Structure 1
């Protein structure tokens, strides 16, 4: 019975891998099929190569901010060096670029648990909390960006601004959960059992487990001071991401509002949020083209911009990840075995 269950899980994982890869490739094919190739080549020719080192440096800077924020989300994070956190982050995101289904989210806490005295479950719980911080930042940034888009109906602007306020409300909720975690779990469990328990008991049990995992990760933050620093470093991280995509526009000779770079950042983040093909193939391009089209840029420019920015990020992060693995005497086979067993 256990062997059959393992085989079913392995088959399901393989189907998910192939399905996500096919979807990503199809998205890319559809986008490319619509383009005028001569215009695409012209747009690619606009890149100013002197900006490339700056784009690489800014890409690495975002990972430095991730590492510092992660330090404040881990239990007794001050005992972990920033360099180790940076290396684990680079390896995890490199795995996202070369493997499907965002397995880097599991790889990152796994390598951290091998390099430092921390349990995998504790490191993984911190990643769950980290994603909540990213959702909050994305909601707030999205709320600001939509208000700057041309020709957007007032009701859309109002709705998205409400979502932005919802992000602020979610942040306040996180603070309450941090202070009163056990009580919030009990209240949430009672509400779920009252309204859904009779009809969906298994679903309720999974939601309760998810709440407990989130609270465990949140309580792993050593103090309210660390929680405040995590919020500040999240702001710095997303600000650096906006700067990266705005700098990318400058590298093509485009001097437009910072809200264009911010909108590109938001749309890419939304497009690649779901587990997909290795390297976010297709979804990265889709988010970029849609964001730039909202500001009147051609699909050819959007595709040229996405190909350059995407390629630089993939090459930079994967090479950095390979360097870290070599320095740590690890290999990609170790990472694949972990992703297969996760």
Structure 2
């Protein structure tokens, strides 16, 4: 699949590897600085999870870092988002946290991240002053840049609905359990009973919702996480030669990238990653800039992110070598 995307991008005139002349104009110190911002970004992204876990389990910070960093790499490199199951599996294997409850925390994280990112995109996109009219192609490819605003606001509505559905699922979890049991029980009573129990356990992962002590710090650290991500992308964009790029535009690049990789796809998000960032740049810059300095930006953004994820995953395996159970359960939710 990744090879197919490579052929499509190459055939459409979107460089995967930028020209040497374009790379020669890069301010290379910004590449190293961007890598350093990814260290802080990754630590905040991982450690904010403690606010979701504390209502159901006492997981050591070292373990949170290790599981998160390994999980982030798995999400990035495995196709079709199969890596999403890695963190729940590791939390379950390392301690007394059920797989279903851990899956609930990961699901909550995804919904809140998507909601905040789409809010940021919805605000930043017009503030960055897009081109008028917006292009309907990039290079030879009919990438509908003009459709990005509509897609962004549609996804914002979707994530708002998902957030309220999550809240309803938690506060009416007994109703959700009964409905699951009855619907799937029509096919198999044992299956209905099993799935209803998993639904109840998964709702444990939402126990942070009614607690300002956990929910508010989590939101604050999530905003910090996205701010660090946008600041790093802003610095790298400037370093690659996107002169005049603003912070609002960098936030838009980040949001369009997030929008483009929501749908499960190829390993490493290859193709979707590059196409999304190109589309974000094309909202504000002429095609000559998109295919020139923009190609260096797309390439370095991808390579540095992927490289740092491998570094963090390797660090994760070193800082938590002890595979003995380490998570002490608070209220004792049963294992899967």
Report the TM-score, using the length of structure 2 for normalisation: 0.73
Q: Deviations over 1:277-308 (max 9, x none)?
A: 22111111111111101112423433321111
Aligned to 2:35: 56
Aligned to 1:73: 52
The structure 1 residue matched to 2:172, chosen from 145, 169, 181, is 181
Aligned to 1:317: 309
Q: Deviations over 1:192-248 (max 9, x none)?
A: x9xxx8xx999xx9x999976764421366833212222222222222221121121
- 1:207-246 to structure 2, matched below 5 A, reads 215-219=203-207, 223-246=211-234
Q: Measure, in 1, the Cα distance between the counterparts of 2:271 and 2:216.
A: 36
Shift of 1:71: 0.8
Q: Measure, in 1, the Cα distance between the counterparts of 2:19 and 2:299.
A: 11
Q: Measure, in 1, the Cα distance between the counterparts of 2:49 and 2:294.
A: 32
Q: Name structure 2 gaps, 5 residues minimum.
A: 135-145, 324-336
Shift of 1:93: 1.5
Q: Measure, in 2, the Cα distance between the counterparts of 1:270 and 1:222.
A: 28
The structure 2 residue matched to 1:113, chosen from 59, 71, 92, is 92
Distance 1:247 1:77, change over 3 A: farther
SS of 1:273 mapped into structure 2: coil
In terms of mean alpha carbon deviation, does 255-264 or 109-118 score higher? 109-118
Q: Deviations over 1:102-161 (max 9, x none)?
A: 232111222233334422222121101111111211221221133232326999969966
Distance 1:208 1:306, change over 3 A: farther
Contact preservation (8 Å) 1:267, 1:291: yes
1:150 aligned onto 2:128: no
Aligned to 1:17: none
1:46 aligned onto 2:25: yes
In terms of mean alpha carbon deviation, does 76-85 or 98-107 score higher? 76-85
1:285 aligned onto 2:277: no
Count of residue pairs brought into register by the alignment:
298
RMSD: 3.8
Higher helix share: 1
1:125 aligned onto 2:114: no
Q: Measure, in 1, the Cα distance between the counterparts of 2:23 and 2:221.
A: 34
Q: Name structure 1 gaps, 5 residues minimum.
A: 1-21, 332-342
Q: Measure, in 1, the Cα distance between the counterparts of 2:82 and 2:265.
A: 10
Q: Measure, in 2, the Cα distance between the counterparts of 1:144 and 1:222.
A: 27
Distance 1:110 1:245, change over 3 A: same
Aligned to 2:238: 250
Q: Measure, in 2, the Cα distance between the counterparts of 1:288 and 1:209.
A: 42
Q: Measure, in 1, the Cα distance between the counterparts of 2:68 and 2:212.
A: 24
In terms of mean alpha carbon deviation, does 238-247 or 29-38 score higher? 29-38
The structure 1 residue matched to 2:295, chosen from 303, 306, 309, is 303
Aligned to 1:8: none
1:30 aligned onto 2:8: yes
Q: Measure, in 2, the Cα distance between the counterparts of 1:25 and 1:209.
A: 42
